[in-house]
Chain A
């Protein structure tokens, strides 16, 4: 029950880890990604990405700007131009 999550910026690979869920601020509304999500691509509005390490845990927030999300078999990949931890 783990989702592989990667957060990548042009400067470096910020995160690559197994998490429970990630809530992404898509341009057409927030969406949460769990393991086994259908293939999906979306642009992201500037805002906070919430990472839930485990079910019911406190989310960790990362501010992203200029982002793009891709959900595939390998998990969720976030491409962001700028990231603030």
Chain B
């Protein structure tokens, strides 16, 4: 049985932990709103670009002179996995599920006799992936220097990936990131980045002949890298929203657990205080009777 003083100390320490988790939860809730707004604001651009890409790629797909980013290198031996993790912890199992999804995909590819390399964005995925695949870790991209990763970071990542592609370092790239469903649910998603999967040609309603300036191919060649940038940007936004959502949920749970712990400890404290008083009384009464 712990002494009264010890119990009191424990209650106090749990209380201060609860204060921290509660504060973190509120911060995450506020940041989540902002991250969601940012994700919302990015949607029109992505939608329109995808639409343009769809109509352009539809006309050019299957032709021999299609750009390399669309047609691929002709082999699918070497895969690059771009894994987007968070920079900070305290967000529950979020990074664990991303890493698990990445590892699953890597094992599947390795089992198929392919080569796999990782390109890691964010700090938290590095250690677990390095432990599982010590030889496959390629480059890291550090997003911890900026507060919220924006389009500049997406651009930098895309440039690096495209440079590697141009240098012939890989054939297929996948983007792995958590898709934000709600504060409770974040789905790890694997999405093919390079070669750009041909978007389904939605509707061929534009019977009117569209003029292209310069040409269709030139435009497509310029838009493809931009499309990849947008995809990566989308991934960064999703990871930001997911991080805050997961953090909010995790901290809410932690606050509640701390509350339970405090009430348990308080009951224990009161009981032992009562017990101490009773023992003292019994001692006094027994002493008085003995006289």
Take A8-B48, A10-B230, A79-B48 as given contacts and tell me if A39 and B222 are in contact as well, using a CB distance cutoff of 8 Å: no
Mark each residue of chain A from 33 to 71: 1 if its CB lies under 8 Å from any CB of chain B, else 0.
Answer: 000001111110000000000000000000000101010
Kindly provide the distance from the CB of A9 to the nearest chain B CB, expressed in whole angstroms.
6
Provide the residues of chain A in CB contact with B46, threshold 8 Å: 10
Interchain CA distance A7-B17 in the complex, whole Å = 48
Take A68-B222, A79-B48, A81-B151 as given contacts and tell me if A39 and B209 are in contact as well, using a CB distance cutoff of 8 Å: yes
Task: Check A68–B52 contact: CB distance below 8 A.
Answer: yes
Kindly provide the distance from the CB of A17 to the nearest chain B CB, expressed in whole angstroms.
14
Provide the residues of chain B in CB contact with A32, threshold 8 Å: none
Task: Check B214–A27 contact: CB distance below 8 A.
Answer: yes
Interchain CA distance A80-B223 in the complex, whole Å = 11
- Determine if B260 is an interface residue (Cβ-Cβ < 8 Å): no
* CB contact between B45 and one of A9, A27, A39, A40 (< 8 Å): that residue: A9
Take A28-B214, A77-B48, A79-B48 as given contacts and tell me if A10 and B206 are in contact as well, using a CB distance cutoff of 8 Å: no
Task: Check A42–B213 contact: CB distance below 8 A.
Answer: yes
Task: Check B233–A43 contact: CB distance below 8 A.
Answer: no
* CB contact between A41 and one of B41, B154, B213 (< 8 Å): that residue: B213
The residue among B44, B52, B210, B214 with the most chain A CB atoms within 10 A of its own CB is B44
Task: Check A40–B233 contact: CB distance below 8 A.
Answer: no
Interchain CA distance A14-B147 in the complex, whole Å = 23
Interchain CA distance A8-B210 in the complex, whole Å = 21
Task: Check B52–A38 contact: CB distance below 8 A.
Answer: no
Kindly provide the distance from the CB of B69 to the nearest chain A CB, expressed in whole angstroms.
16
Task: Check A10–B151 contact: CB distance below 8 A.
Answer: yes
Interchain CA distance A81-B154 in the complex, whole Å = 11
Query: Could you tell me how many residues of chain A have their Cβ less than 8 Å away from some Cβ of chain B?
Result: 23
Provide the residues of chain A in CB contact with B48, threshold 8 Å: 8, 70, 77, 79
Take A8-B44, A39-B211, A41-B219 as given contacts and tell me if A72 and B206 are in contact as well, using a CB distance cutoff of 8 Å: yes
Provide the residues of chain B in CB contact with A39, threshold 8 Å: 206, 208-211
Interchain CA distance A70-B212 in the complex, whole Å = 9
Take A43-B214, A43-B219, A79-B48 as given contacts and tell me if A10 and B42 are in contact as well, using a CB distance cutoff of 8 Å: yes
Interchain CA distance A43-B221 in the complex, whole Å = 11
> Which of chain A's residues has its CB closest to B46's CB?
A10
- Determine if B7 is an interface residue (Cβ-Cβ < 8 Å): no
Provide the residues of chain B in CB contact with A1, threshold 8 Å: none
> Which of chain A's residues has its CB closest to B155's CB?
A81
Kindly provide the distance from the CB of B32 to the nearest chain A CB, expressed in whole angstroms.
18
- Determine if B150 is an interface residue (Cβ-Cβ < 8 Å): yes
* CB contact between B211 and one of A10, A11, A41, A79 (< 8 Å): that residue: A41
- Determine if A25 is an interface residue (Cβ-Cβ < 8 Å): no
Interchain CA distance A28-B213 in the complex, whole Å = 7
Kindly provide the distance from the CB of A8 to the nearest chain B CB, expressed in whole angstroms.
5
Interchain CA distance A39-B219 in the complex, whole Å = 15
- Determine if B226 is an interface residue (Cβ-Cβ < 8 Å): yes
Kindly provide the distance from the CB of B7 to the nearest chain A CB, expressed in whole angstroms.
53
Provide the residues of chain A in CB contact with B206, threshold 8 Å: 39, 72
A-B contact pairs, 18 of them (CB 8 A): A9-B45, A9-B151, A10-B42, A13-B45, A26-B213, A28-B214, A40-B210, A41-B211, A41-B213, A43-B213, A43-B214, A68-B226, A70-B48, A70-B52, A79-B49, A79-B52, A81-B151, A81-B229
